[in-house]
Structures are given as structure tokens and as C-alpha cells.
Amino acid sequence: MGESGLLTSILGKPQVHLQGRETFFSGIHIMNESLLDAQINQTKFCIIREIYIPLLEKAEKLGGYLHKGYWNDLGTLERLSQTEAQITQMSFTFQKEIEEFKKILIPH
């Protein structure tokens, strides 16, 4: 991801030689539903390989948001339970993140 928040490559595709930060995708997509039109008749598809990488190869703009707050992998029932316990002991809001998303989604 470049300094502007735009993605430069995913899974090493397309090959780019731009400076940026290596990050990983943690799960929330905010997109125009028209991006899914080509996959409407498929029961399964990979959004990364079949939508995002082709868009990057066409030099389309894809943005990311680098979240610096609380995050936990919920991939197992044990981790889900641990996270639930942690969250109930915390006091936090996502107002800062919501304001950052608004800046990205609503151009001025």
C-alpha cells in the first residue's frame, strides 16, 4: 500500500516497483456493487484473484485503510471466545475509524 492509501499490488500482482508498505487484508470490503456483476452467476469466486488483481492490472484505483487499533483473528471458536472476553473488558469506540473511512469514501 502506498503512502496515499492506494494499493499497488496484491499477492505480488501486478509486479510493481513502487515504494510502499507491505500489509495484509483483514476482512472488510467497501465497494460499488457493480464490481460483482461479472460473478453474479458463480457460486464461488476469489475476490482477490478475480476482481482486485485484474483491476490493479488495468491501473484502476483501489484503496486501503491501515487500522492501527484493536484487531484479532476470529478463525477458531477458541479465538472468538477469547476476543469476546477481551472486548467485554475494554472501553472503546470506532469513531476515529469511521471519520477516516468517510475521508476515503466521500471525496471533497
**Which residue is listed with cell 485503510?**
65
pLDDT tens for 28-74 read 777 777 777 766 667 777 888 888 888 888 888 887 777 777 777 88
Burial 5-26 (b: 16+ CB within 10 A, else e): eebbbbeeeeeeeeeeeeeeee
Q: Is the per-residue pLDDT at 108 higher than 60?
A: no
> Cα 60 from chain centroid?
16
The pTM (predicted TM-score) of the whole model is 0.55
Helix-then-strand count for the chain, H and E = 4, 0
Q: How far apart are CA 108 and CA 99, in angstroms?
A: 13
State the average pLDDT for the chain.
Answer: 74
The whole-number pLDDT of residue 78 equals 92
